[in-house]
Amino acid sequence: MVSLTMTVISMAKPSFPQQQPPSDLSTASSSASPRRRDLVFIVNPKGANGRTGREWKKLLPYLRSRLGTDCNICESLTSGPSHAIDITREAIREGADAVVAVGGDGTLHEVVNGFFWGGKLVSKHDSKVPHTTALGLIPLGTGSDFARTFGWANDPVDAIERLVKGSRSRIDVGVISKEGGDLHYFINVADIHLSAKAGYHASKYKRFGNLCYVIGALQAFFKHHNQDLKIRVNDGEWEVYPQVTALCIGNAQYFGGGMRITPNAHPTSGNLEVVTLQDFKWYDFIMKLHRLYNGTHLSVNNVLSRSAFSIEVEEVVGTDSIYVQSDGEHLGFLPRKFSILPGAISMIC
């Protein structure tokens, strides 16, 4: 069993309908004593203004009833930024069958980054034994944009049923690099300039739920200026894109609380979708906001979409003020290079 410093979940009075432990776990053995799977649940108890922690406590009995005696269920509560990264790496090194992010896109983002170390996938200590730790997700946070691409409801009970079935698919992961800097990974959407600035401000108002994205956007518009950017796609020639308002690089489709910004992206495609908004004014967003949410904005003037396996972005005139974020996490400022790692990790789908 995984020997992480975490709590093994105890029995409690169920708050969900009791069900018998399933017999269709994909990794279960037909022998009399199959090996118990080690599932590590990483929970941000302060997520969604404390709601994540409260909902998680209510969910534990149902989780136990569905997974039964087939699994060693371990929980680890994060204590601050980047803690989920460290927990994930330790769990993988000790051979966990799955690491499950419990919370919003921020927790999922940290768990995904925990799958990597020094530019390589983390592996089990005993490298002689082939083993792959899968990624799982139970959405319980402010935003669950990644789950929308797969059509998953923001319902933890549905997520537990996916864990019960145990079906896995290889998914792509985006990687962000900067000369002289560490690599950073993203699973959903990375973005530049106005949208990244809005995300930066929105993070300060998560106590207001999805309203934080509206507040962040209003702050971002204040004193915003479109900028000329140099862009190189797939290691080709550098091109100048004038008056860029925002540039979004999608491994999945949604960000900002349900905005379908990169509607052709999918984590199994092997490519990123790059959507560029140019010369937008504040009133353009008001008039076209519904199109950004339903994914029909690609036909709007000054919106360009293309598929790429890599994209480099720099300022034409250096200001060191063009925001960069990924999965809603502020990363600093340009320049950056964004690339795709096809089928990098296995996910319970």
* Secondary structure (DSSP) of 73-85: EEEEE--STTHHH
pLDDT digits (tens, 9 = 90+) for 233-274: 999 999 999 999 999 999 999 998 899 999 999 999 999 999
Q: Phi and psi for 164 in degrees, rounded to 5?
A: -60, -45
Peptide bond into 335 cis (omega under 30): yes
Instruction: Calculate the alpha carbon distances from 69 to 20, 149, 349 in Å.
Output: 11, 32, 22
pLDDT tops 90 at residue 308: yes
pLDDT digits (tens, 9 = 90+) for 160-191: 999 999 999 999 999 999 999 999 999 999 99
pLDDT tops 60 at residue 20: no
User: CA angle at residue 270 from 274 to 150, to 5 degrees?
Assistant: 85
Give the pairing type, strands 329-333 and 323-326.
antiparallel
pLDDT tops 90 at residue 318: no
Q: Which among 70, 97, 105, 172 is annotated as catalytic?
A: 105
| Active-site annotation holds for 105 | yes
Strand-pairing partners, residue 314, are 230
Q: How far apart are the first and last CA of the chain?
A: 24
Q: Confidence class of residue 6 from pLDDT cuts 50, 70 and 90?
A: very low
Query: Greatest CA span in the chain, whole angstroms?
Result: 68
Helices marked H in 203-310 — which ranges? 211-221, 282-294
User: CA angle at residue 109 from 105 to 111, to 5 degrees?
Assistant: 120
pLDDT digits (tens, 9 = 90+) for 21-54: 443 444 433 444 567 889 999 999 988 888 899 9
Give the closest residue to 176 by CA, choosing from 342, 334, 317, 345.
Answer: 334
For the chain, list the domains and their CATH numbers: 37-166 (3.40.50.10330), 183-342 (2.60.200.40)
pLDDT tops 50 at residue 147: yes
pLDDT tops 60 at residue 310: yes
The predicted pLDDT at position 32 comes to 47
The predicted pLDDT at position 11 comes to 31
The predicted pLDDT at position 216 comes to 83
Give me the mean pLDDT over the 309-324 stretch. 95
Contacting residues for 69 by C-beta, under 8 A, at least 6 apart: 21, 36
Give me the mean pLDDT over the 205-231 stretch. 85
Give the pairing type, strands 98-103 and 120-121.
unpaired
The predicted pLDDT at position 248 comes to 98
Q: What is the mean pLDDT of the chain?
A: 88
